[in-house]
Structure 1
Amino acid sequence: MLSRMLPRRTSATGSNASSNLRENNAQVVLFPTIGYRVADGRTWHVQVHGDVFSQRPVGLGKRFLLKVLQRVMRVPAGAFETQLFQHRIQRFLAHDEAGKQIAVKLGDAVHTLPRKTRPNGHFVGTLKVADEHLSPLITATSPNHRQVSLEVCTQAGDTLGLKGQVHLVDPQGVSIISDIDDTLKHSHVMCRRTLLANTFLKEFEPIAGMAQLFQSWEAQGAAFHYVSSCPWQLYPHLQALFGASGFPVGSFHLRAFRLRDHLLRKLLLRKPTKAVVIHSLLKLFPQRKFVLVGDSVEADPEIYGAAARHFPNQVKQILIRSLPGPKNDPNRYAAAFRGLRPGVVRMFTAAGDIAHDLPQ
């Protein structure tokens, strides 16, 4: 959630910056975030978000939940012995490393985050960096995309050899906020067994043409924010899918989830918490224009419609992938999109239905 990614904007730098993270007993994932200029035009806020965990023997509680998962999916025990399942379930079974003090390196400066890792192992923070210090660190991966890299420091002051990307977003321009499940990849959220099978037992399958559509928008200067109800534990697998399929890079905003928090209920209950993320992004960039891309299976029409009513000058277009089912109802859409100006909402079934020109 973006609201949880915006703590008090403080950080420690210099020789007293420290970490109690030991390289040999924890793993770290850095999630792609955003950096943005503040009103003075001379300072950047650089968001930091990551995950610390370790691999330990699986206890009885998690073994029991795996048995429940197997029964719900109605698959033989052998299905959970595959390499793919073991790879997908690994982070869900890992031990969350709470209470870790995190220090990150940006260029030559080391910043200690003011808050330690949460009970779920996540750490968040926002660094304040002067423009003259950040500018030499910026790299351009394309004519319209700039980023800087972060590294996590261990207790010994070494870096872990992994880099996290911070995507720099200008105050003006066009941003794409996109759902993932059933919008960019086939998930079949409405069917519990199929959703679980697609999550843990099958290779992720992108929806044809969406990567190419997004690439055309990227070439026109769009920035991308991927907002989904997917658990953060699936981020590395989503990242692999996006890289292989050619989706543009961008920030990720997924859902906090812990295996002990009732696996099936929490994983299958798709709460519309992404409304908070979307509103936060719109507030953060009041001069940018936004295109919201989603599908009809979950609450995207209602969430996007509410966002467009709250920010009518920023939300230029809502694109909803229409899928068969009881939720594909004209009366539902009429309620979700009430009061919006004509032409803002467009339904589509395939990427080819969408114009490649960004709205102005």
Structure 2
Amino acid sequence: MKRDLGRGGIVVHPYRGYGSRQEVFVMGRVFRQAALGRAIPHHGVLRDVADVVRRIARHGVAGVRVEASLGANRTTATTDRDGFFDIHLPLQTPLPQGLSWHQAELQVSQGDDRMHCHAEVYIPPPETDLLVISDIDDTVMYTGVADRLRMLYRLFVQKAHQRTAFPGVAALYRALHVGADGEARRPILYVSRGPWSIYEMLEAFFQLNCIPVGPILFLREWGLSWRRPWPRRAEDHKHDLITRMLTMMEDLPCVLIGDSGQHDPEVYTRIVKEHPGRVKAIYIRRVDRRPDRERAIERLREEIAHSDCELVLAADSAAMAAHAHAKGLIAQHDLVEVHQACVDEG
């Protein structure tokens, strides 16, 4: 991130990218940020409040030219009305073999000013055998999306070290990342209902909790305003994003992880029907224990019973790990580690 050091002004923030050996995608935002003011201390409540206000009050800068290069491959994009750029870069020149993370160079032009930064891009190695796509909210990290006011507080105000990861999550995702042989280096793509403005917090949260890093893909920009104080509905965006991932990754099978509190079971079941044979398992964390909700999920399980994908409504990370081990997706010693982590962190 090209930071403003508290002085305000134009800020460039690229997000982690993803891709295949044929193409890559990189998103980011160019926005104008208010100055903190020299009177505000570097630490304390006032600084926390100022940081929250600045994140919420960011104004995207439209029409900014972004030049991207990855190896010998180059393209350009222009920011939209909210300041976001979405770069699609076909790889006509192959990238170095043996690397999963690559560095895309970005040149951003705003008037007479030119800023340079880079974005990390993950490309799965050729031997990758599985793609993992996971929700974040109430799946990896406790958010409480059912209570909107508390959700907004947790999203915008709580810092990374104040967030709570579900017991065993880090161990489970590490096990899925390395696979049964310990060398798989499977890509894990994370999806959140939250806005782009909490990206930095989520990166810190993943690092603090030792959760395998991956491109963090948000569903949408919230588009909040005084006239529209709640996020816009975006029920189809997760479906479209997963479809895009499956199309890009060609025949690579996947595992989908979500929670029972929102629409994850419905979206994932639809994906199974539309992409026969691609989804090997659906893991749904039980966060909503209403009988009618559990019956609805049971009906979804029955709808895909004829396929080779099983929908698992899991009480905890240990239950997900047990099924993953039975399917040959993780190693025995990793299964034991996930069970122990659930005990230690629960």
TM-score by length of 2: 0.77
Q: CA separation in 1, counterparts of 2:106 and 2:293?
A: 48
Aligned to 2:83: 121
Q: CA separation in 2, counterparts of 1:266 and 1:100?
A: 26
8 Å CA contact 1:96, 1:120 repeated in 2: yes
Aligned to 1:36: 20
Match of 2:60 among 93, 96, 100: 96
- Equivalent position amino acid for 2:247 in 1: K
Q: CA separation in 1, counterparts of 2:68 and 2:295?
A: 50
8 Å CA contact 1:179, 1:227 repeated in 2: yes
Q: CA separation in 1, counterparts of 2:313 and 2:53?
A: 35
Q: Does 1:147 align with 2:106?
A: no
Change in CA separation of 1:235 and 1:262 when aligned onto 2, cut-off 3 Å: farther
Q: CA separation in 1, counterparts of 2:198 and 2:54?
A: 10
Q: CA separation in 1, counterparts of 2:73 and 2:242?
A: 31
8 Å CA contact 2:65, 2:108 repeated in 1: no
- Equivalent position amino acid for 1:174 in 2: L
1:325, distance to aligned residue in structure 2 (A) = 4.3
8 Å CA contact 1:214, 1:247 repeated in 2: yes
- Equivalent position amino acid for 1:148 in 2: H
Alignment of 1:157-172 (within 5 A): 160=116, 162-170=117-125
Q: Paired residues, what number?
A: 298
1:336, distance to aligned residue in structure 2 (A) = 2.9
Change in CA separation of 1:188 and 1:48 when aligned onto 2, cut-off 3 Å: same
Q: CA separation in 1, counterparts of 2:227 and 2:190?
A: 26
Q: CA separation in 2, counterparts of 1:261 and 1:298?
A: 26
Overall identity of the aligned pairs, in %: 24
Change in CA separation of 1:235 and 1:25 when aligned onto 2, cut-off 3 Å: same
Change in CA separation of 1:324 and 1:106 when aligned onto 2, cut-off 3 Å: closer
Deviations 1:45-70 (A, max 9, x none): 12121110111479xxxxxxxxxxxx
Change in CA separation of 1:54 and 1:159 when aligned onto 2, cut-off 3 Å: closer
Q: Aligned with 1:123: secondary structure?
A: strand
1:209, distance to aligned residue in structure 2 (A) = 1.1
Change in CA separation of 1:148 and 1:336 when aligned onto 2, cut-off 3 Å: same
Match of 1:111 among 67, 74, 77: 74
Change in CA separation of 1:261 and 1:118 when aligned onto 2, cut-off 3 Å: farther
Deviations 1:99-153 (A, max 9, x none): 001112434x58341x410011110121122344x21xx674xxxxx11111222
Q: Aligned with 1:103: secondary structure?
A: strand
Q: CA separation in 1, counterparts of 2:229 and 2:272?
A: 32
Change in CA separation of 1:231 and 1:139 when aligned onto 2, cut-off 3 Å: farther
Match of 2:288 among 320, 324, 327: 324
8 Å CA contact 1:56, 1:95 repeated in 2: no
Aligned to 1:69: none
Q: CA separation in 2, counterparts of 1:327 and 1:242?
A: 33
Q: CA separation in 2, counterparts of 1:322 and 1:290?
A: 21
Match of 1:308 among 256, 272, 281: 272
8 Å CA contact 1:88, 1:237 repeated in 2: no
1:326, distance to aligned residue in structure 2 (A) = 3.4
Q: Aligned with 2:235: secondary structure?
A: coil
1:279, distance to aligned residue in structure 2 (A) = 1.6
- Equivalent position amino acid for 1:180 in 2: I
Aligned to 2:50: 86
1:324, distance to aligned residue in structure 2 (A) = 3.4
Alignment of 1:96-245 (within 5 A): 96-107=60-71, 109=72, 111-113=74-76, 115-132=77-94, 134-135=95-96, 140=99, 146-155=100-109, 160=116, 162-170=117-125, 173-202=129-158, 203-220=162-179, 221=184, 222-245=186-209
Q: CA separation in 2, counterparts of 1:349 and 1:126?
A: 39
Aligned to 2:311: 345
Change in CA separation of 1:299 and 1:57 when aligned onto 2, cut-off 3 Å: same
- Show structure 2 runs of 5+ residues with no match: 1-7, 37-43, 330-346
- Equivalent position amino acid for 2:314 in 1: F
Change in CA separation of 1:283 and 1:100 when aligned onto 2, cut-off 3 Å: same
